[in-house]
C-alpha cells in the first residue's frame, strides 16, 4: 500500500501540527515522523519496499506522509509523480524571512551550523557560507520557484497551498479545507485536536546542550547536512542523553522566553532577496502578500 497524500513543505511552517491534526481523523493513516524516501540518498526507483512498509495492513482511505524538504528539491517532484501519479499534495508557506530565522535556529540546535547568535550567524550565511544547512536556510524560501517545479509535472488542482498565518490564526478553518481537499468528511473528525508542533529554542546555553544531545543520539548525514536518530544506543549514551534532557527541562527551558529579533539591515537584505519570488507567488496564488514584503 502506497501513500496517496504528501505534505511537501515548507520547512518550519507548521507541517508537523497539520499532519498530527489530520492523523486524528478516523479515515487517515499518517506514520510517525518524516518520510525522506524521495530524497537522495534514500531514493531507489527499483525498491518501493520502504515506502510500502509504512502502510502495511492499512485500511485508511487517506494515507499521508510528510517531508518539508520535498518542496525545495525539484527532483522530488518528478520522483513523486513517477510513483504516486494520483497523489494529493499539500504545501504550507510561511513568511520567507520568518521561516529563515526559524530554520537558522533549527540547524544550530542540531549542530549543522556553528553556535552563534542570530545576527552574527545570519550575516555569515548571507556572506556566502557554503555548508548545506546554510544554503537550506536561505534557499528554502523561494516558494514560487519551488511550487512551479511541482506544477510542471502535476495538474494545479492536485496542489493545495496554505499560508502559515491561516494555520496559526484560523486553524480549524484551514484544517477543514485540507480535509475537503483530501476527500475526507470533516464531520467524522469530531472535536478539533489540540495543536502540537516541534519545539523551538533560541537561548545559546540551551542550544549548546541540545547540540550535544543530538550528537549522542543521532547519526549525521554530512552530504545533506542533516541528522537522523540512531536505531540503537549503548547504555552510557542513553544515560548521558537523559541527563542532558533533565538539565534542559529543569534549568534551561526557562531561558527561551522569546525569539530574538533580526537586525533591521539583515531583515531588509533578506526581504530584498525574496522580493521577486514573492511578487510572482502573489500573482500565482491570487492573494495579497504585502505583509511578506515589508
pLDDT tens-digit profile of 134-170?
999 999 999 999 999 999 999 999 999 999 999 999 9
Report the mean per-residue pLDDT for the chain.
88
Rounded (10°) angle between helices 143-151 and 74-83 = 30
- pLDDT-derived band at 205 (thresholds 50, 70, 90) equals confident
Strands (E), the chain: 5-9, 28-29, 62-66, 88-93, 159-163, 218-221, 226-229
Q: Which residue has the cell 470533516?
A: 186
Grid coordinates in use for 283? 500573482
- What's the rounded mean pLDDT across residues 172-187? 96
Q: Which residue has the cell 493513516?
A: 29
Q: Which pLDDT value is given to residue 245? A: 61
pLDDT at 223 over 50: no
Closest CA to 139 of 98, 109, 96, 77: 96
- pLDDT-derived band at 201 (thresholds 50, 70, 90) equals confident
Measured on CA atoms in the order 115, 12, 33, 52, is the torsion positive or negative? negative
What's the CA gap between 252 and 284, in Å, rounded?
44
Grid coordinates in use for 29? 493513516
**Using one digit for the tens of pLDDT, what is the confidence trace for 31-40?**
999 999 999 9
SS3 of 241, please?
helix
Q: Which pLDDT value is given to residue 80? A: 98
What's the CA gap between 91 and 109, in Å, rounded?
25
Say if residue 120 is exposed, middle or buried (CB neighbours under 10 Å; 0-12, 13-18, 19+): exposed
Q: Which pLDDT value is given to residue 238? A: 66
> How large a percentage of the chain has pLDDT more than 90?
73
Q: Which pLDDT value is given to residue 62? A: 98
pLDDT at 54 over 70: yes
What's the CA gap between 155 and 104, in Å, rounded?
33
Overall residue count recorded for the chain in this entry? 294
Question: 3-state DSSP helix/strand/coil percent for the chain, to nearest 5?
Answer: 50, 10, 40
Closest CA to 290 of 122, 163, 139, 118: 163
pLDDT at 189 over 50: yes
pLDDT at 222 over 50: no
Q: Which pLDDT value is given to residue 214? A: 77
Amino acid at each position: 500500500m502506497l501513500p496517496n497524500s504528501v505534505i511537501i513543505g515548507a520547512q518550519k511552517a507548521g507541517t508537523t501540527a497539520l499532519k498530527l491534526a489530520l492523523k486524528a481523523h478516523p479515515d487517515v493513516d499518517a506514520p510517525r515522523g518524516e518520510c525522506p524516501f524521495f530524497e537522495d540518498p534514500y531514493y531507489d526507483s527499483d525498491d518501493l519496499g520502504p515506502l510500502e512498509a509504512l502502510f502495511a495492513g492499512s485500511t485508511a482511505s487517506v494515507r499521508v506522509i510528510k517531508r518539508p524538504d520535498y518542496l525545495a528539491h525539484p527532483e522530488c517532484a518528478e520522483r513523486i509523480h513517477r510513483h504516486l501519479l494520483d497523489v494529493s499534495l499539500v504545501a504550507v508557506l510561511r513568511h520567507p524571512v520568518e521561516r529563515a530565522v526559524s530554520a537558522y535556529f533549527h540547524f544550530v540546535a542540531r549542530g549543522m551550523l556553528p553556535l552563534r547568535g542570530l545576527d552574527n550567524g545570519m550575516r555569515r550565511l548571507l556572506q556566502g557560507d557554503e555548508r548545506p544547512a546554510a544554503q537550506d536556510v536561505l534557499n528554502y524560501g523561494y516558494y514560487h520557484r519551488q511550487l512551479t517545479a511541482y506544477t510542471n509535472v502535476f495538474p494545479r488542482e492536485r496542489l493545495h497551498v496554505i499560508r502559515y498565518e491561516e494555520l496559526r490564526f484560523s486553524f480549524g478553518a484551514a484544517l477543514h479545507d485540507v480535509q475537503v481537499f483530501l476527500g475526507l468528511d470533516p464531520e467524522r473528525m469530531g472535536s478539533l485536536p489540540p495543536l502540537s508542533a516541534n519545539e523551538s529554542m533560541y537561548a545559546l546555553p540551551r542550544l549548546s546542550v541540545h547540540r550535544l544531545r543530538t550528537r549522542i543520539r543521532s547519526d549525521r548525514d554530512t552530504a545533506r547536512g542533516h541528522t537522523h536518530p540512531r536505531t540503537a544506543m549503548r547504555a552510557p549514551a542513553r544515560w548521558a542523553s537523559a541527563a542532558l534532557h533533565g538539565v534542559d527541562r529543569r534549568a534551561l527551558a526557562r531561558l527561551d522566553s522569546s525569539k530574538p529579533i533580526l537586525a533591521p539591515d539583515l531583515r531588509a537584505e533578506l526581504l530584498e532577496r525574496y522580493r521577486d519570488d514573492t511578487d510572482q507567488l502573489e500573482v500565482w496564488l491570487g492573494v495579497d502578500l504585502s505583509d511578506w514584503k515589508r
